[in-house]
Structure 1
Amino acid sequence: MKLIFNFLVIFTFFSCNQKESKKNLEHQLSERQKKEQSFGEYFFDNSKTISFTNKDRYFYSFLSYYNSNNIYRKRLRSGTEGIDILNIDSTKSKKELLISDDHQIFLRDFRSFYVQNSDSIFLHGINLIQIVDSSGEIIFEKNYEIPIEIPSSYFPISNNNSSKSFLKGYDFYFTRLLDMYPNNEMYNSNTLMRYNLVENKLYEVTNTNYPKFYFDNCWFLQDYTIHYAINDNDEIVYSFPIDDYIYIYSLSDNKIVKKINCKSKYKEKNPIAANCDKLWDAKSNYKHTYESFLYGDVVFDPKKYIYYRFAKIPETEYSLNQKFDSKNNRFIIMVLDQNFNLIHESKIYNKTPLYLSFDYFVTDEGLWISTNNPSRVDYDEDILSFELFNFKAK
């Protein structure tokens, strides 16, 4: 009887303190994640966080990349004010007017953007490229012609961290939308386009098709998402969800010049190809996404001259009645040196959940990953928060 009474006391104590426990949950998990990460010759120092406020401008995420002058950010329900996230010494953001109210409406029609500096914000639509300055004035505008026979194939995909639009000289590169059935014809199509600003011409970038791993099978949409990073050698570093290899594409040679096996030590088996008759079946998609190990974004860190490669970890407990939510996935961060040798891996459990693995940026200090997950207990829609993954030697 005494034992039962003691148990009830303990149970009541924990019930009364449930709210307090929730507050401490994320901190405890973060500490545990650090311990999981600290193995081998290197480790991630997660001791620094930053946050920015933007009152009454609802958003939970933006997509950005390394550029000291990049002050324009893509946000949900984007307002007219930008956020300078690279000013990490400040607890609050600097706000700058980048696109005027008159030009906000155009953002809905643009599929990608690229920021060179405050006076060259590239906005890329279905067949239109504009360059606007910091006040929103159009300083360059060109329409390019797209082939009548397959116009949709030359639409750009939405710009994101996975495959960013970028500028090299007078050439503006963007990822081509392949609105095709996932078969050999699609996999053999070039995935990158080049628009020359001087010639006002659109070109396919040759030899940017899918690797052989894809051929002769059907795959789900998430399996052929394109991920790449641009390094300082005018090379595109490709990572594909179902392929262990990293592919190095030379912009000067217009071809793949190297491929390196960068298989994660946490990968136990390859994803299973889709049944071609069930490509659009929701539960088949859910099951495949939950159970598959899929590589994600590859990120170049120019200061440390290393690469971060993300990967999604398979789930063992899930319901097919619930769509896979990429905001709450467990993931891995692989670190590759300048020769693409795998030198470190960290498994991020993200059980709270805390992180948004697709929302990040890089500064001289390292990789910053969003901790602004909407599923957090203390989520605040007016705050953007990030945690530094500073890669160090022990």
Structure 2
Amino acid sequence: MNTSYTNKTILLILTFGLLACESGHKEAKFFELQYKGKNLSLPIDESTSNLSDGLTYFAQGNLLFSLNWIENGFQIYDLDEKRKIADVTFDYEGPNGVLDVMGIFVQSLDSIFLFNQLESQVTLIDSSGKIKSKIKYQTPEKYSPAFVHNAYFNSPPLLQGNKLTVKTHYYGPLQNMTQEELLKKELVYEIDLETGITSFLDFKFPIDYMLGGLKLFEASIAHGASKHVYSLFGDHRLFYVSEFGDSLKWKDGKSNFVPQTLPLFPLQGDGLDFRKYSYYSPHYESLVYDPYREVFIRFVFHSFEQDESVPVSDMRNHSGPFSIQIFDIELNLKSETAFEANHYHPFDYFITKEGIYLSINHPLNPQNKEDQMTFELLEFIPIKE
């Protein structure tokens, strides 16, 4: 069943890369991403869309977690057996309630964190759905609860001991924001899971993001290679620190498929104009760290004019052409590959040792089958730089 996404929106990935390792030091190796005919198909039932509300891969057991917002829960698929092995749903309220399940973070099969959209609560469960604890925390004034979304500007939490670092949004009218005000806004805060106390980590916007005009503030945050890195909707650069609180640094990462000057927020437009700007204007979206190849991967969306007959609620599903950038551990841009519209659904993906599994359930792909989630494996093939 191919249902459209709700207004929570969505994400996904694919890649090239760079690997390394020889006698005590790492020597960079470069790869091209190729589809060599291997597919993965997972059968789904009538309560499940073939477009996931967010995918999370768990290497131990070769398991795939897929969020299902309509059912307020998730499913677990055994990728070796290519079948669903668990279907976990929750009440919204009451002793077995977890509020709305927007995002998931799988630390282990005994420690799975559920995040909701509106309340300052993290629910800790195991893979059977048993609630182990409900952790209330203090949301900083004028900031959102933890924003953990597995299919939209991916920004997975970082767990270190009893401290959980999560992405947040500043609550305030976008149209009235100035660069001076934006510079003071935080991108993450840390939750003490024992006390519920939250602390900012001085991880802020760059000093010049809005110098050319107003742009969407959305960021994607990745942790890896001894760095905390983020990418912004309307900026070519990657921003990073080695430790929270360090001075912000950046590396240029301009895509070959977007203009030097990116579009600005449509101040004079309506809701439809804003959606077109968010979905179809050239921009950068998810940034992800691939631990198997030790590279950072970023999705780039190209300018696109969609058929006006596509319903507003389904616009994001009908995404256009995109490309994948690959950065080494020093955030140097090493490769970029473009993909045409209407084949891949670039918000449903997961990364394994084999490569990147990318959904082909784009609504306009003739190979799209409504009774299964289907992925093509993009393998890393060594090439000379």
TM range (shorter): 0.7 to 0.9
CA–CA distance in 2 between the matches of 1:270 and 1:80? 41
Kindly report which structure 2 residues correspond to 1:1-394, keeping only aligned pairs within 5 A, or say none.
42-47=31-36, 48-59=38-49, 60-69=51-60, 71-78=64-71, 82-84=75-77, 87=79, 89-90=80-81, 92-98=82-88, 106-125=97-116, 126-146=119-139, 150=141, 153-161=143-151, 162-182=154-174, 183-184=177-178, 185-186=181-182, 188-210=184-206, 212-215=208-211, 217-219=213-215, 223-233=216-226, 235-250=227-242, 252-274=243-265, 276=267, 278=268, 281-285=270-274, 288-289=277-278, 292-315=281-304, 319=308, 323=312, 325-327=315-317, 328-350=319-341, 353-394=342-383
Distance 2:349 2:197 in 1: 33
The percentage of counterpart residues that share the same residue type is 21
> With structure 2 as the length reference, what TM-score do the two structures score?
0.77
Q: Secondary structure at the match of 2:146?
A: coil
Q: For residues 31 and 382 of structure 2, what CA distance do their matches in structure 1 show?
A: 4
Contact preservation (8 Å) 1:362, 1:368: yes
After superposing on structure 2, the runs of 4+ consecutive aligned residues of structure 1 that deviate more than 6 Å are: 100-105
Q: Distance in 2 between matches of 1:116 and 1:310?
A: 25
Q: Secondary structure at the match of 1:285?
A: helix
| Letter matched to residue 243 of structure 1 | D
CA distance in 2, matches of 1:299, 1:156: 18
Q: Partner of 1:84: helix, strand, or coil?
A: strand
Bigger RCO of structures 1 and 2 (CA < 8 A, at least 6 apart): 2
Instruction: Please state how far the C-alpha of 1:296 moved relative to its aligned partner.
Output: 1.3
Q: Spell out, residue by residue over 1:18-52, the C-alpha distance to the aligned partner (whole angstroms, 9 max, x if none).
A: xxxxxxxxxxxxxxxxxxxxxxx742111221111
Structure 2 gap segments, 5+ residues each: 1-29
What TM-score does the superposition give when structure 1 sets the normalisation length?
Answer: 0.76
Distance 1:64 1:316, change over 3 A: closer
Distance 2:188 2:39 in 1: 36
1:301-355 CA-partner distances (Å, limit 9, x unpaired): 11111122110111267659975823231101111122222222111012xx221
Cα distance change on mapping 1:108 and 1:141 into 2, 3 Å: closer
Question: Post-superposition shift, 1:157?
Answer: 2.7
Partner of 1:173, secondary structure, is strand
Question: Which secondary structure state, in structure 2, belongs to the residue aligned with residue 357 of structure 1?
Answer: coil
Contact 2:221/2:228 (CA < 8 Å) preserved in 1? Answer: yes
CA change 1:98–1:316 in 2 (3 A) is: closer
Contact 1:57 1:382 in 2 (8 A): no
Is the helix fraction higher in 1 or 2? Answer: 1
Does structure 2 conserve the Cα–Cα contact (< 8 Å) formed by 1:312 and 1:330? yes
- Deviation digits for residues 79-119 of structure 1 (CA, Å, limit 9, x no counterpart): 7662236x2x44x2241255567989735534432111111
